[in-house]
Chains A and B, each alone.
Chain A
Amino acid sequence: MTDLLSKFDPLIQERENLLATGVKDPFSLVMEEVLSPTVAICNGKETILLGTYNYMGMTFDDDVRAAGIKALAEFGSGTTGSRVFNGTYSLHRDCEDALREFYAMDHAMVFSTGYQANLGIISTLAGKGDYIILDTDSHASIYDGCAMGNAEIVAFRHNDVEALEKRLKRLPAEAGKLVVLEGVYSMLGDVAPLKEMVRICKENGAMVLVDEAHSMGFIGENGRGVCEAQGVIDDVDFIIGTFSKSVGTVGGFCVSNHPKFEILRLVCRPYIFTASLPPSVMATASTSIRKLMHSGNKRAHLWENSKKLHQGLRDLGFSLGTPEAQSAIIAVIMPDLEKGAMMWQALLAEGLYVNLARPPATPANMTLLRCSLCAEHTSEQVDQILGMFEAAGKAVGAI
């Protein structure tokens, strides 16, 4: 008998080797109590959270929580059904209405997770004989959507406008083409040159899908993302987003002005063959989305936080993923996994939680300490965070 799990032996060994050096397992941390969007109790210690995607701090918003509690009481704990059967409540329709209001677009389709939104939309839009052109740094959900479908997949070097153009020009003119871009790439927190890229896509007859998971709610005058900020939102055919970041719950969506959009509900397998989100999740999402339409002040404060942290870490001597703050993600580059794990643990001991990111999640085999800011972080907390980075950095010899 062949043990199907023996293919994971090298990884099991690598983990055992790392844990034998005495570091705690970065991937088994438990949040014992969550006090606010920015503070939790981990290992019995009060810990500042700098590694969540709670960009706008909506998870503890009073109106959001009240809406959720009311929906739980009135509609029960779950729909127990797919969107195409018994799983569409008035709350699901209202959530899609909220998205249409937020984006001022004609159509919105809510999936149970952002991962499923990418899986479904990408694998369904591009079929046999079509081409999907994507950035090499794309999120796993985009790669998996490509793998799940039957289209030809062409990758181009990260954010390289010329590389995208060359590949588009080499493809058969009459073939269907979908270019998949992200507004903010989630590992380094860098922004895509959407203005140039969308123009090139249109010149070469390609449809464009932009995943604004890390920018919706925060970037752009109305929080509609990087395509809004760069003035190309009207030229983008499909926007994909998530509820698990700025919106503060779980779920995914696709919005579009395409007149034939609604048929996707009947042909998208990750929409059909799965349970719809609970009523309380729909209620919290709708409330949050509508509040995010008027959150200019919070967006401004989040930018201040991001710029302050970026500058402060640079001044301390850390190597960062972007030359300036381009989003709410600040990535600190570590020389190797061992140093990264030591630094992660030292920061946790100081009372700061960040994400330790490593291949295959990261580009170019990097080990990163990924910091993500929240609009609810106070300026004083950012000072504290810089102090903790300085102390931990010196303790492990990272600076």
Chain B
Amino acid sequence: MANREDIMAKICELIGPFNNKGVDLTASTTFQGDLEWDSLTVMDFVAAVEDEFDIIITMNMQAEIETVGQLADAVAKLMDS
């Protein structure tokens, strides 16, 4: 059973190297707005998340994920299925 807190912590760890703006990470941090990531950085980051949790995040799913919290929810759901 995937622990959402552990997932959140791992995601924040993975965001680290891409966090050029050095923003504080909370569940409501947005990838496009707060982190100012372009679409290519998003793709590289998503690939890292997929490999870390051994899941697939389709492009349709990515379109729905705007915040760090939403990503953690999506990962938890994918790991449970």
Contact segment of A184-192, A255-263, A360-368? A360-368
Q: Within the complex, which residue of A153, A167, A363 is in contact with B60, where a contact is CB–CB below 8 Å?
A: A153
Classify chain A: how many residues form its interface, as a range.
10 to 19
Interface string of B30-63 (1 = CB under 8 A from A): 0000000011100110010011001110111000
CA–CA, A49 to B39, complex, Å? 32
B40 and A157 within 8 A (CB) = no
A170 and B59 within 8 A (CB) = no
Q: State whether the Cβ of A171 lies closer than 8 Å to any Cβ in chain B.
A: yes
**Chain A, residue nearest B51 (CB):** A166
Known A156-B47, A157-B47, A166-B51; contact A364-B40, beta-carbon cutoff 8 A: yes
Interface positions of A from 146 to 202, Cβ below 8 Å from B: 146, 152-157, 163, 166-167, 170-171
Q: State whether the Cβ of A136 lies closer than 8 Å to any Cβ in chain B.
A: yes
Question: Main SS of the interface on chain A?
Answer: mixed
Known A156-B47, A157-B44, A167-B50; contact A360-B39, beta-carbon cutoff 8 A: yes
Contacts of B47 in A (CB 8 A): 155-157, 163
CA–CA, A84 to B59, complex, Å? 34
B59 and A154 within 8 A (CB) = yes
Contacts of B38 in A (CB 8 A): 359, 365
Q: Within the complex, which residue of A136, A153, A359, A364 is in contact with B58, where a contact is CB–CB below 8 Å?
A: A153
B59 and A146 within 8 A (CB) = yes
Interface string of A351-384 (1 = CB under 8 A from B): 0000000011001110000000000000000000
Classify chain B: how many residues form its interface, as a range.
10 to 19
Contacts of B55 in A (CB 8 A): 170
Contacts of A359 in B (CB 8 A): 38
**Chain B, residue nearest A366 (CB):** B40
CA–CA, A131 to B47, complex, Å? 17
A154 and B40 within 8 A (CB) = no
CA–CA, A154 to B50, complex, Å? 11
Shortest CB distance A223–B (Å): 33
**Chain A, residue nearest B40 (CB):** A364
Shortest CB distance B79–A (Å): 12
**Chain B, residue nearest A166 (CB):** B51
Known A167-B50, A359-B38, A365-B38; contact A155-B43, beta-carbon cutoff 8 A: yes
B43 and A136 within 8 A (CB) = yes
**Chain A, residue nearest B46 (CB):** A155
Contacts of A153 in B (CB 8 A): 58-60
Contacts of B59 in A (CB 8 A): 146, 153-155
Contacts of A154 in B (CB 8 A): 56, 58-59
Known A146-B59, A153-B59, A365-B38; contact A170-B43, beta-carbon cutoff 8 A: no
**Chain A, residue nearest B56 (CB):** A170
CA–CA, A157 to B45, complex, Å? 11
B58 and A170 within 8 A (CB) = no
A170 and B40 within 8 A (CB) = no
Contacts of A365 in B (CB 8 A): 38, 40
B39 and A171 within 8 A (CB) = no
CA–CA, A153 to B63, complex, Å? 11
Q: Within the complex, which residue of A136, A146, A167, A364 is in contact with B56, where a contact is CB–CB below 8 Å?
A: A167
CA–CA, A153 to B50, complex, Å? 14
CA–CA, A146 to B62, complex, Å? 14
Shortest CB distance A126–B (Å): 12
Known A146-B59, A167-B56, A171-B56; contact A363-B40, beta-carbon cutoff 8 A: yes
Please name the 4 residue pairs, one residue from A and one from B, whose CB atoms are nearest each other, closest first.
Answer: A153-B59, A152-B58, A170-B56, A136-B43
Interface residues of chain B, those whose CB is within 8 Å of chain A, are 38-40, 43-44, 47, 50-51, 54-56, 58-60
Q: Known contacts A156-B47, A170-B56; can you find 8 more A-B pairs with CB under 8 A?
A: A136-B43, A154-B59, A155-B43, A155-B59, A157-B47, A359-B38, A363-B40, A365-B38
- Could you show 26 A-B contacts with beta carbons less than 8 Å apart? A136-B43, A152-B58, A153-B58, A153-B60, A154-B56, A154-B58, A155-B43, A155-B47, A155-B59, A156-B47, A157-B43, A157-B44, A157-B47, A163-B47, A163-B51, A166-B50, A166-B51, A167-B56, A170-B50, A170-B55, A170-B56, A359-B38, A360-B39, A363-B40, A364-B40, A365-B40
